Amino acid sequence: MTSNTTTTAAASGTWTLGDMVVNRIGLGAMRLPQTGTALVPDAVPRDRGQAIAVLRRAVELGVNHIDTAAFYFSSLRSANELVNSALAPYPDGLLVATKVGPARDAAGRWAPHAMTPEALRGQVEENLRQLGRDHLDLVYLRIVHDHDRFAERFGALAELRRAGLIRHLGLSNILPRHLEEARAIAPVVCVQNPYGIGAFPEQDQVQRLCGEQGIAFVPFYSMAGTRREDGASGDDEPAINVIARAHEASTAQIRLAWTLHKGAHVLAIPGTGDPVHLEQNIAAGAIRLTEDELAQLNALHDRTV
């Protein structure tokens, strides 16, 4: 994989997220607590010093948008605690986003999803404690199943926003109708959904809808494509390999660059706990794909959906 230690997150451009200007390349914290590819009870804890070093290096390289959650943890490590330890007191201009909805028990097993307003408030307070904050910059309501009472749950977060515990609200893993319903309750500054080459057509619809409404679209699994939790370990698509060689880049970097080319409202939060991968991800923000390369990648995207 190509690494470029001189490239900073500023090369990706900026977007105003709520009232905070962020670089379009950020950092997802899911992989900081463990070396595994997903949040599972038997994930191997990551070296604490390495995780903290990655966070600090990210900020040095201009990352000012970090995505975390209280349910990102392994048997020894918590993403929120690592973020707090590495970066507090938090520098001006750093946006730390978190999310509520899903829950895991102390052993790391996914617990029944308590989505009552009281439970959501408890999750917000848990994130506040772990991050050492008196308010949260951005909180996503993550949808686990397409269920009823969505308005009640988003309304509970809107109340916490009015109370000053939350600065901005977002939605995660949603359908287009959720965005319309939520915006009737409170402002929505961003949507975080799975998206990358080969994403399902409804995700293209959500991405376009966000762009039309001036809302940030923050994809997860952007480098993995249809592999999702399996990560971006290699690529068997000839077109992506050819384009990667032309840019002296990895296929993961090309996938990430394609996502950023979908619009100025698209922000990336590639997750890693590896310092080399961090710099590669940030360098992807400087890759400028040609019209012909974009056409090839768009055709691949349309073929694989």
| Residue boundaries of the structural domains of the chain | 10-233+263-273
Which pLDDT tens digit goes with each residue over 281-300? Answer: 999 999 999 999 999 999 99
Cα 51–Cα 52–Cα 56 angle in degrees, nearest 5? 120
The candidate with the shortest Cα–Cα distance to 131, out of 104, 162, 94, 157, is 94
Place of tokens 């959906």: 305
Which pLDDT tens digit goes with each residue over 21-47? Answer: 999 999 999 999 998 655 666 678 899
Cα 215–Cα 10–Cα 262 angle in degrees, nearest 5? 40
User: What pLDDT band is residue 114 in, cutting at 50, 70 and 90?
Assistant: low
User: What pLDDT band is residue 3 in, cutting at 50, 70 and 90?
Assistant: very low
Which pLDDT tens digit goes with each residue over 162-198? Answer: 999 999 999 999 999 999 999 999 999 999 999 999 9
What number is the average pLDDT over the span 81-99?
A: 97
Question: With contact defined as beta carbons under 8 Å apart, do 71 and 103 qualify?
Answer: yes
* pTM for this prediction: 0.92
- pLDDT in the model for residue 75: 82
Q: Over pLDDT 70: what percentage of the chain?
A: 89
3-state helix, strand, coil in the chain (%, to 5): 40, 15, 45
Which pLDDT tens digit goes with each residue over 193-232? Answer: 999 999 888 999 999 999 999 999 999 988 765 444 445 5
> Which amino acids are annotated catalytic?
72
What number is the average pLDDT over the span 228-247?
A: 77
Q: Of the ranges 70-74, 127-131, 221-225, 230-234, which is most confident? A: 127-131
- pLDDT in the model for residue 41: 63
- pLDDT in the model for residue 43: 72
Structure tokens at 7: 């490239």
The CATH number of domain 10-233+263-273, selected from 1.20.210.10, 3.40.50.880, 3.20.20.100, 3.30.460.80: 3.20.20.100
Measure Cα distances from 96 to 25, 27, 83, 166 in Å: 13, 10, 9, 11
Place of tokens 């707090």: 84
What number is the average pLDDT over the span 59-74?
A: 95
Mean pLDDT over the full length of the chain: 90
Q: Does 117 have pLDDT greater than 80?
A: yes
Place of tokens 């007191």: 89
Structure tokens at 258: 């394609």
104-108, 132-136, 148-152, 244-248: range with lowest mean pLDDT: 104-108
